[in-house]
Chain A
Amino acid sequence: MTTLQSGLRRSVATLGKPRKATYVVLAIFVLGSLFPFYWSFLVASRDNGMLTERIPPFVPGGNFFANASRVFDTVPFWKALANSVIVSGTVTLTTVLFSSLAGFAFAKLRFRGRNKLFVFIVVTLAVPTQLGIIPLFIAMSELGWTGSLTAVIVPNLVTAFGVFWMRQYTLDALPYELIEAARVDGCSMIRIFWNICLPAVRPAAAILAMFTFMMSWNDFLWPLVVLDAGNPTVQVALEKLQSGYYVDYSLVLAGTTLATIPILIVFVLLGRQIVAGIMQGAVKG
């Protein structure tokens, strides 16, 4: 083997190995991402006055648990957490399921009007949602769902983004040959979807699940209008923490910190899924 060949071989072998600079740059980004969270925690662990200091302290104080327990006293936070888990969990499951279904159809099945219908879906992304609040509220009133979680779940059962995203991924990730082989074996469409398509798009589905869960968890405007104080989701409960003529920021930020913990749990659960899935995709030829 010549030196050139072994040199190239080494280059290929080290393909993808990160340089030190990579870690530095990434560290800067992650620090920037984390800083506001740390800042919130700082305020939550001290008191309201911290935000008005000329030079704010950078070390946490000892008040976090005191403030956190005040959060539970002021609003029905456990109920809000439970409600948010129900709403976000349901919405995530249905969105992933229906988006994968529709994405599969648009990506791999041929049917009349396919392209036009898909363009229509993309166009719906452009519709500003704020004005929809009033007609949607009217619809929810007619159906008698105002005040219940159904009103928050149903409008979010599937999203255009989800369909767009799953179609995108399915196009690349699911070769026609697989589908045809399955058809040849006598599989029905739905079995092809469940047994072949879903496993192939798992990383994208995991990513979509994470995005959808987080978006639903932080959804604020619509739940504020349609739910009431007795049956809030987490973000609605946080709004109520800002009651009064002055806002107790340490209380509010203690609330937001508590509200972020469940998402972090979801991160941990789904995060490995995504990474594993992404790496699987890299091996695939």
Chain B
Amino acid sequence: MTVLDKVAPEGSKAGERTSPRPTFRHRLSRWDVKVSPYLYIAPFFILFGIVGLFPLLYTAYVSLFKWEAGSDDPDFIGLDNFKELFADAQFWKALTNTVSIFLLSSVPQLIIAVLLAALLGARLRGATGWRVGILLPYAASLVAIGIIFANLFGPKYGLINGVLQTIGLDPVDWQANRFGSHVAIAIMVNWRWTGYNALIVLAAMQAIPKELHEAALIDGAGTWRRFWNVTLPLLRPTLIFITITSTIGGLQIFTEPKLFDAMPGSNNGGSTNQFQTVTLYLYQTAFQNADLGYASAIAWVLFLIIVLIALANFFITSRIASAPAVKVKKK
């Protein structure tokens, strides 16, 4: 059977057939090509319709009301919730906290993840153990993390302050000090997520053909230059990927600040809201203050902020590590 006349890009009309074939099968095949993509993405969109879109629209609707949980007759107040939100000092404090914790966690995390992946990419003895070992924190139960880290970072009796004092430094009030609390929470977040991101980068790094490294090496490039000019540019799509997911995840940080508070179960984010993130503020408004209208407004504003920052991040990351210095020969 000749192959040449059958090689046609998908979606285009098939040419004349030289051998007789039932047209039904032919049409079925074209139908298969046209419709399959929509069928394949359907499960996600159907599920999202119920689980994602409905809550999203519902929240948008509720944000226009003054609605207290359990009340049967909410008042329509239009955009008043949003007006109040923009004048709300606690919201801006939470937003600053969120951005601060986000930067303190994401930036070191991504750098360390890439470096870790580079180390793990080597031909290690016991490679599986090392690679899986760094993912272990992701397996930890959140309950355990809360207990352990609250214990470690205790201002009075915690182990970390104990160590600091032994080496002659002053103890830090990890709870009361605003920046200190951000650092502690960032450490909690990084502990949990760095291995996760490192593994993603590792998978991408391993996909880079060895021949490129060898060629660069023969051209006289040292380890660092190879990394900068060969590895990084080819990692660009993956770096963009983890930047976007970390940005979105980082701006939504909720569990760690909630667990870190000395008052168990508190949604305050500290005695002066010093480490309350926007999501925690949202949760407090909805489930403690039972003010669902206002909480919905917070949710929507946060959503828009995340989209904006993720977009900005996307453009920034696209600029970095842009033009590859080594030509990638496509086989």
Using a CB–CB distance below 8 Å, which chain A residues touch chain B?
8, 11-12, 15-18, 22-23, 25-26, 29-30, 32-34, 36-37, 39-40, 43, 51-52, 54-56, 98-99, 101-102, 104-106, 109-111, 114, 117, 121-132, 134-136, 139, 154-155, 157-158, 160-161, 163-165, 168-169, 171-173, 180, 183-184, 188-190, 193, 203-204, 207, 210-211, 214, 217-218, 220, 234-235, 238-239, 242, 247, 249, 252-253, 255-257, 259-260, 263-264, 267, 271-272, 274-275, 278-279, 281-285
Query: Is B225 on the interface with A (CB-CB < 8 A)?
Result: no
Docked Cα-Cα span, A36 to B150, in Å, equals 11
B241→A239 contact, CB < 8 A: no
Query: Would A252 and B143 be within 8 Å (CB), given that A128-B252, A135-B55, A278-B206 are in contact?
Result: yes
- Shortest Cβ gap from A247 to chain B (Å): 8
A281→B206 contact, CB < 8 A: yes
Query: Would A274 and B218 be within 8 Å (CB), given that A188-B32, A189-B33 are in contact?
Result: no
A189→B142 contact, CB < 8 A: no
Tell which of B75-83, B84-92, B121-129 binds the partner. Answer: B121-129
Residues in B with CB closer than 8 Å to A109 are: 10, 33, 36-37, 40
Query: Is B145 on the interface with A (CB-CB < 8 A)?
Result: yes
Query: Would A190 and B159 be within 8 Å (CB), given that A98-B44, A101-B43, A126-B248 are in contact?
Result: no
Docked Cα-Cα span, A234 to B143, in Å, equals 11
> Which of B137, B207, B218 has the most C-beta atoms of chain A within 10 angstroms of its own C-beta?
B207
Q: What is the chain B residue whose CB lies nearest that of A172?
A: B207
How many interface residues does B have (CB within 8 Å)? 102
The 8 Å CB contact of A282, one of B41, B206, B302, is B206
A123→B307 contact, CB < 8 A: yes
Query: Would A267 and B135 be within 8 Å (CB), given that A36-B191, A168-B241, A275-B127 are in contact?
Result: yes
Residues in B with CB closer than 8 Å to A11 are: 217
Residues in A with CB closer than 8 Å to B41 are: 101-102, 105-106, 117, 163
Query: Is B275 on the interface with A (CB-CB < 8 A)?
Result: no
Tell which of B100-108, B175-183, B292-300 binds the partner. Answer: B292-300
Residues in A with CB closer than 8 Å to B121 are: 16
A235→B141 contact, CB < 8 A: yes
The 6 closest A-B pairs by CB, nearest first: A132-B55, A18-B122, A256-B144, A189-B36, A111-B37, A105-B40
A22→B149 contact, CB < 8 A: no
Q: What is the chain A residue whose CB lies nearest that of B25?
A: A186
Query: Would A168 and B238 be within 8 Å (CB), given that A22-B119, A282-B206 are in contact?
Result: yes
Query: Would A161 and B10 be within 8 Å (CB), given that A131-B295, A260-B139 are in contact?
Result: no
Interface majority SS (helix, strand, loop, mixed), chain B: helix
Query: Would A214 and B138 be within 8 Å (CB), given that A8-B218, A56-B159, A278-B203 are in contact?
Result: yes
The 8 Å CB contact of A214, one of B29, B139, B302, is B139
The 8 Å CB contact of A33, one of B58, B59, B191, is B191
Query: Is B172 on the interface with A (CB-CB < 8 A)?
Result: no
Known: A36-B148, A55-B162, A267-B132. 20 other contacts (CB 8 A): A15-B210, A15-B213, A18-B122, A22-B119, A33-B136, A33-B191, A39-B151, A40-B147, A109-B36, A124-B48, A124-B52, A125-B248, A128-B299, A135-B58, A158-B43, A203-B203, A204-B203, A218-B142, A278-B206, A281-B203
Residues in B with CB closer than 8 Å to A121 are: 44, 48
Residues in A with CB closer than 8 Å to B296 are: 131
Residues in A with CB closer than 8 Å to B307 are: 123, 126
Q: What is the chain A residue whose CB lies nearest that of B53?
A: A124
B191→A183 contact, CB < 8 A: no
Query: Would A220 and B142 be within 8 Å (CB), given that A22-B122, A105-B37 are in contact?
Result: yes
Residues in B with CB closer than 8 Å to A105 are: 36-37, 40-41
Q: What are some 23 contacts across the A-B interface (CB < 8 A)?
A: A8-B218, A11-B217, A16-B213, A18-B119, A18-B124, A36-B145, A102-B40, A102-B41, A104-B40, A109-B10, A125-B248, A131-B55, A136-B55, A168-B237, A184-B6, A188-B29, A210-B135, A214-B138, A220-B142, A252-B144, A260-B144, A278-B206, A281-B207
Docked Cα-Cα span, A141 to B139, in Å, equals 31
B124→A22 contact, CB < 8 A: yes
Residues in A with CB closer than 8 Å to B33 are: 109, 189
B303→A158 contact, CB < 8 A: no
Interface majority SS (helix, strand, loop, mixed), chain A: helix
Docked Cα-Cα span, A107 to B13, in Å, equals 22
Docked Cα-Cα span, A100 to B116, in Å, equals 27
Docked Cα-Cα span, A247 to B144, in Å, equals 13
Residues in B with CB closer than 8 Å to A183 are: 10
Docked Cα-Cα span, A23 to B126, in Å, equals 11
Query: Is B54 on the interface with A (CB-CB < 8 A)?
Result: yes
A16→B133 contact, CB < 8 A: no
Docked Cα-Cα span, A190 to B31, in Å, equals 13
Q: What is the chain B residue whose CB lies nearest that of A157?
A: B47
B40→A130 contact, CB < 8 A: no
Residue-wise, chain B 179-204 has the 8 Å CB interface mask toward A (1 for contact) of 00000000000010001100110111
- Shortest Cβ gap from A132 to chain B (Å): 4
B302→A128 contact, CB < 8 A: yes
B144→A253 contact, CB < 8 A: yes
The 8 Å CB contact of B286, one of A33, A111, A134, A235, is A134
Q: What is the chain A residue whose CB lies nearest that of B128?
A: A275
